[in-house]
Amino acid sequence: MRIGTARSSYRHDEALFDSRTQYAWLAILGVALLGFPFVADEYWLYLACLVAINIASATGLNILTGYTGLVSLGQAAFMGIGAYTVAAFEQKFGTPVLLNLLAGGFVAMLGGLVVGLPSLRVKGLYLAISTIAASVVLHFVFANWHSVTGGHSGITVAPAEILGISFDTSFRLYWLFVPITIMMVIGAANLFRTRIGRAFIAIRDRDISAEVLGIPLLRYKLLSFGLSSFYAGVAGGMWAYFFRVVTPESFPLLMSIFFLAAIIVGGMGTILGAILGAIFMTMVPEALKLIVGWLPLSTDATLILSPVRTIVFGALIVGFLVFEPLGLQEIWRRIRRFFHLWPFRA
């Protein structure tokens, strides 16, 4: 009896220690995020804003693919819907920034609900192909609906403005994008503590069993598509305010592959995986630029950068699927566990 009590007490103390450690890490992260823009130069602030946008979109795709098991290669197209919606609202109505971002998210959600309709009948490769087809259709709309999208010329977006403050620099946009992304990540994390999140996971693990248990598959698959598209729409809206111009070429299929690679490399089905994967995959092109810049090439380095980047994305997807299917979040978990236990190793 005493042994059982001692073990229970030990486990309670260990759980309390892990909880305190987690809060300590969160406090350190908060301080780092607050202090980063005051010590970083323009280049790193640019990357930080881009990372925030990519984390928001990757988190949305992780809801759909990582937690619900529905493969999508249309995330960039849904970002395009959000970006064009924000650009149109900003140009024609001059509505507030946050309202524009919400509008971009909801319009993208409507598009996601339409694209998600085939998910009841098809899945896996066939569902991925249907999302590619949707991307092609949306790209055609972006390029040819001149009265709304401006055609290939696109739409120029005015700087975001809140309370008379113009967010026209990376430093100011950092204070807009990072809090929005944090709220979106927290929302996704809390989602999977609810009945809806558990239904998503049940559908991913075995959809037939989930249906037998009374989970309406079409409703929850559409909801997953809608939430994922909403995240993509808001991310696309932030993208529009960040780059200040929206064109059909801004959201190619390669961008969708980028986000799929991000959640695979980071670790599908985990919030941390989407964050780590988005950060890692955002830094890969920057590292490639440095490497290509160092090479003594006779041709323009930018001409080979795009195909090399595509090859690297594909190699990373295959490499992580083969050697570390659980992604960077599993590597991080092992590192944490190692340093937690290393003093007691023989």
Question: Looking at residue 298, which CATH number applies to its domain?
Answer: 1.10.3470
* pLDDT, tens digit (0-9, with 9 covering 90-100), for 108-135: 999 999 999 887 788 888 889 999 999 9
Mean pLDDT across 206-225:
90
Residue 9 in any domain: the answer is: no
Higher pLDDT, 42 or 292: 42
Q: Give me the domain span that covers residue 208.
A: 44-341
Per-residue confidence at 19, pLDDT binned at 50, 70, 90?
low
For residue 97, the one-letter residue type is V
What are the pLDDT digits (tens) for 68-110? 999 999 999 999 999 999 999 998 888 999 999 999 999 999 9
- HEC secondary structure over 30-71: HHHHHHHHHHCCHHHHHHHHHHHHHHHHHHHHHHHHHHCCCC
Q: Is the pLDDT assigned to residue 309 strictly greater than 80?
A: no
Question: Quick one: pLDDT at residue 310?
Answer: 77
Looking at the structure of the chain, the number of domains it has is 1
The structure tokens listed for 244 are 């200040």
Whether the pLDDT of residue 15 is over 60: the answer is no
pLDDT at 158 over 80: yes
pLDDT, residue 18, reads 58
Give the chain's mean pLDDT: 87
Residue 17, token pair as written in the block? 């220690």
Structural domain includes residue 7: no
Residue 270 falls inside a structural domain = yes
Asked if 130 contacts 112 with a C-beta cutoff of 8 angstroms, the reply is: no
Phi, psi dihedral angles at 246 (to 5 degrees):
-125, 120
- In percent, the amount of the chain with pLDDT more than 70 equals 88
Query: Tokens 């980063």 — which residue?
Result: 36
Judged against a pLDDT cut of 80, whether residue 12 lies above it is answered with: no
- On whether residue 306 sits in a domain, the answer given is yes
**Token reading at 61:** 């795709």
- pTM of the entire structure? 0.89
Residue 165: pLDDT over 80? yes
Q: Picking from 81-85, 208-212, 340-344, which range would have the lowest pLDDT averaged per residue?
A: 340-344
Task: For residue 25, tell me if it sits in a domain.
Answer: no
Q: Is residue 23 part of a domain?
A: no
H or E element that contains 161: strand 160-162
pLDDT for 7: 45
Q: Is the dihedral of CA 148, 151, 156, 161 positive or negative?
A: positive
Residue 21 domain flag: no
Is residue 10, in this structure, part of any structural domain at all?
no
